[in-house]
Amino acid sequence: MLVGSLGLWAAAGVHREAPLVGASRLPDSLGPLESKVARNPSDRASLLRLADLYLDRDAPGLAIAAIQRAPSNVRDDPEVAHALGRAWLHEGHASNALAAQQSVLSACSDAPCAPWLVASALRHERFLSALLRRGIEDYRQDPDGTVAAYQTLSESTVAMFEVASMQRP
């Protein structure tokens, strides 16, 4: 009976350690995308896909590192700065996240941006400001304060955009 129990224990794999990397089950497409961004750091679209993939898999530090390796003209892009702000928030650095979202709003006041980007940056900026007013840098450290900060966002943010008039031939 003891031998049978040991055999069952060995077959079940309970004696194995959890993997140190890859535990978040990143998709197979990650390697080629990382290579593409490494080969062409100015490829803004690929960088954004990579950052989103990292954020979706709860790896904000990897998203931050990828964005910070990009050339300054790519990092200064409002959509990339917004992704960086989201990553900083999830990494537990609300003050860095707020600075990133404020840079998005500043850039979007100088040049037209997508309405969704402005609305999202405004909502993040208001939430982050509410967090920091409560002294919360990492939202995970104070769940009650985070909920209270979120509840201060009583108004909805709506972005308006112009629709080009269509002329008939």
- Assess contact for 133 and 87: CB atoms under 8 A: no
pTM comes to 0.76
Residues recorded for the chain: 169
In the chain, which ranges are continuous DSSP H helix? Answer: 2-12, 30-39, 44-56, 60-69, 72-75, 78-91, 94-110, 115-133, 143-151
From first to last of its 169 residues, what are the pLDDT tens digits of the chain?
555 544 544 554 444 444 444 445 666 678 899 999 999 999 999 999 999 999 999 999 999 999 999 999 999 999 999 999 999 999 999 999 999 999 999 999 999 999 999 999 999 999 999 999 999 999 999 999 999 998 888 655 454 444 444 444 4
Distance CA 147, CA 134 (A): 11
Count other Cβ atoms within 10 Å, centred on residue 14. 8
Q: Any idea where the domains of the chain sit in the sequence? A: 27-151
Check: CATH 1.25.40 for 27-151? yes
